Amino acid sequence: MSTLAVHDHAVAHHDEAHEHHHKATFLNTYVFSQDHKMIAKQFLITGITMAFIGMALSLLFRIQLAYPDKAFPLLETLLGRFAPQGRISPDFYMSLVTIHGTIMVFFVLTAGLSGTFANLLIPLQIGARDMASPFVNMLSYWFFLTASVIMLSSFLVQKGPASGGWTIYPPLSALPKAMAGSGEGMTLWLISMVLFVASSLMGGINYISTVLNMRTKGMDLWKMPLTIWALFLTAILGVLAFPVLVAGVVLLIFDRSFGTSFYLSDIVLNGQVQPYEGGSPILFQHLFWFLGHPEVYIIIMPAMGISSEVLSVNSRKPIFGYHAMVYSLIGITVLSFIVWGHHMFVTGMNPFLGGVFMITTLIIAVPSAVKTFNWLATLWRGNIRFTPAMLFAIGMVSFFISGGLTGIFLGNAALDVNLHDTYFVVAHFHLVMGSAAIFGMLAGVYHWFPKMFRRMMDDKLGYLHFWLTFAGAYMVFFPMHFMGLDGVPRRYYAFTEFKGWEHWLTVNTFITWAAMLSGVAQLAFAYNFIHSIFWGKKAEQNPWNANTLEWTTPVEHLHGNWPGEIPTVYRWAYDYSKPGAEDDFIPQTVPFSQTMSSNLPHDFEDNPGGLEEYNKWTAAHKASEPVK
């Protein structure tokens, strides 16, 4: 028998820290909050801040690429020793690329995306009062924030941040003296990422446990919205993949600081032979990409879930192929663990093994394509409402198609030998991951802003934001395919200085200006976001006429989400424009007994009693209907 303290207001408190007293103060409401809705907002705002920082870094290295021999005195003023004589130094260029990638992949599109929407939507859409462990959930945010601060603090050390690329391959990452960024910058990178992984694991464990254990009455797995499916499977991916990265990093730390030779062998540094022997840098690549590939799906799956939801709501149509959507997510989850070798085709891998990875890689394109076709079929003849969220969701589909197609080229080992480490790869993953996932995230922000902040964002600014970003992203990344086909390698400081590649300078300049344009477009978003938090139009309870449970909670936030009992769920989340229904949407909380005129036989697949009632009802009504 439970004897936990119970408080006067209508919410059960579960966590020990909560048992003693519960008074809302500034600190426990806004800072050390254990409420999942507040934690979601904390993740979102931190994520957006990191996104702006990451974007600023990319604009800096774009300036270098477009104007390799021009000096910008302003840069020296801003960056000091990192840009002597107004020109970004080669070392700092590498740091910019590295930290840009790290921030975007991990801090924005992993923590910012999953952290925000898993925290916000899991309890609200499955009908739970909070996460399984609100305290661990809070810790997850604080570890994330600490990791972010440490990552950024590496700009303050003498030699600058880590600079071996976001994939931190040894030996550059394992030998503190190898290059400027291999020193303290790399150490800070490792510390930050350890905290980051801890944060991800705490979050992920909580999400899985909550989805599996705390669904409200009637919410069986096959009634869950696709957002929940996606976030749930994403969490599973993270929980299985991140520990492998930790293992790789532990060995890296031993090599770095304790003199072991897991990854190092035959190295001469500044004319000095190093004592390391027998290690294999390829081992690190295996461990890294065993996480790294699932990681890219950790990034895209929440965006897929969000887009599915937004597309269905705003097409006023059921999502096309709900079951296929779920099975393809499961398929992606499983397959993503056996394709990592496609990042290593040119490491001297046995061609037979390469062939195996090639086949698995091409197979993973199948569930991806299933999803794409289903999104398009959902739009087909829908009653489309072009809200900003809808535009971003459509944009997500567009980028996923154009970036996914190039994945199939890269997945063929014979082609990848040529394309590996060129701008073709940069184009591929910025479209399929960078742009698509960011668009999915933005769709989510526009769509659930009223739920988070109780106000609406401005539509006009939303449209402006969408069109400029959409056009900008294509202008930035599309030309990169052609550079890649011409053999231009990625991560080069000034490749236009090489004979034969000078002609890319004009393209580089174009891309840089397109990037600036997209950057400016984000200011429209920032203004809209901040302004709407305080002064936006007040939101109604269910502004998009959506079916999912979060819109049945009151506009005012409550700790515990629903004032009375948690509502019961009777149907799936996609009864939009159901023939015979009064409205064009039927929330999940409406029982079939209240919608007799729109029920269909397959609504009662595993409910014989209901089917009997349904048959009786139709028989009675058929008899009274005039013959046509």
Partner 1 sequence: MIMAQIQQEDRVNLGAKKFSMWIFIFTSFMFFAALTSGFIVYSGQKGHALDVKMPTTFIFSTIVILLSSVTLYMASTAAKKLEWEKQKFLLWVTFALGIVFLVLQIQAWYILTYKMGVYFVGPNASRTFIYVFTGMHLLHILAGLAVVLNAIKGTYGSVTQVKNLYKMEMTSIFWHFLDIIWIYLYVFLLLNQN
Please say which residue, 267 or 514, places its beta carbon nearer to partner 1.
267
Q: Considering only residues 145, 157, 191, 240, which one is a binding residue for partner 1 as defined by CB under 8 A?
A: 240
Asked if 136 is part of the footprint of partner 1 (rule: CB under 8 A), the reply reads yes
Q: Considering only residues 80, 271, 564, 609, which one is a binding residue for partner 1 as defined by CB under 8 A?
A: 564
10 binds, among partner 1, Cu ion, ligand HEM, none (CB under 5 to 8 A by kind): partner 1
Asked if 157 is part of the footprint of partner 1 (rule: CB under 8 A), the reply reads no
Residue 516 vs residues 92, 383, 493: alpha-carbon distances, Å:
20, 35, 19
Q: Considering only residues 175, 319, 433, 586, which one is a binding residue for ligand HEM as defined by CB under 6 A?
A: 433
Q: Residues with Cβ < 8 Å from 31, sequence gap 6 or more?
A: none
Asked if residues 91 and 160 have their Cβ atoms less than 8 Å apart, the reply is yes
Stretch that binds partner 1, among 284-292, 361-369, 431-439, 592-600 (CB under 8 A): 284-292
Residues 263-322 that bind ligand HEM (CB under 6 A): 296, 299-300
Asked if 407 is part of the footprint of ligand HEM (rule: CB under 6 A), the reply reads yes
Asked if residues 558 and 37 have their Cβ atoms less than 8 Å apart, the reply is no
Q: Which residues on adjacent β-strands are paired with residue 455?
A: 538
Q: Considering only residues 230, 251, 301, 389, which one is a binding residue for partner 1 as defined by CB under 8 A?
A: 251
Asked if 203 is part of the footprint of ligand HEM (rule: CB under 6 A), the reply reads no
- Binding map of ligand HEM across residues 363-392, x = CB under 6 A, - = no contact: -xx--x------------------------
180: three-class secondary structure by DSSP: helix
Residues 13-32 that bind partner 1 (CB under 8 A): 14
DSSP code per residue over 183-204: THHHHHHHHHHHHHHHHHHHHH
Place of tokens 């009992």: 565
DSSP code per residue over 10-72: S----SHHHHS-----HIIIIIS---HHHHHHHHHHHHHHHHHHHHHHHHHHHHHHH-TT---
Asked if 104 is part of the footprint of ligand HEM (rule: CB under 6 A), the reply reads no
For the bound state, the minimum distance from the C-beta of residue 428 to ligand HEM, rounded and expressed in Å, comes to: 6
Q: How many residues bind to ligand HEM according to rule CB under 6 A?
A: 24
Gap between the Cα atoms of 304 and 371, Å rounded: 8
Stretch that binds partner 1, among 114-122, 256-264, 303-311, 372-380 (CB under 8 A): 256-264
HSE value, Cβ hemisphere, 13 Å, CA-based, for 75? 23
Asked if residues 601 and 586 have their Cβ atoms less than 8 Å apart, the reply is no
Gap between the Cα atoms of 356 and 375, Å rounded: 30
DSSP code per residue over 512-548: HHHHHHHHHHHHHHHHHHHHHHHHSPBP-SSTT---S
Quick one: how far is CA 122 from the chain centroid?
15
Stretch that binds partner 1, among 4-12, 62-70, 299-307, 406-414 (CB under 8 A): 4-12
Please say which residue, 301 or 549, places its beta carbon nearer to ligand HEM.
301
268 binds, among ligand HEM, partner 1, Cu ion, none (CB under 5 to 8 A by kind): none
Contacts with partner 1 by CB under 8 A lie at 1-4, 6, 10-12, 14, 129, 132-133, 136, 201, 204-206, 208-210, 212-214, 239-244, 246-248, 250-251, 254, 258-262, 277-280, 282-283, 286-287, 290, 564-565
- Site for ligand HEM, rule CB under 6 A: 167, 296, 299-300, 342-343, 361, 364-365, 368, 404, 407-408, 410-411, 416, 419-420, 425, 428-429, 432-433, 437
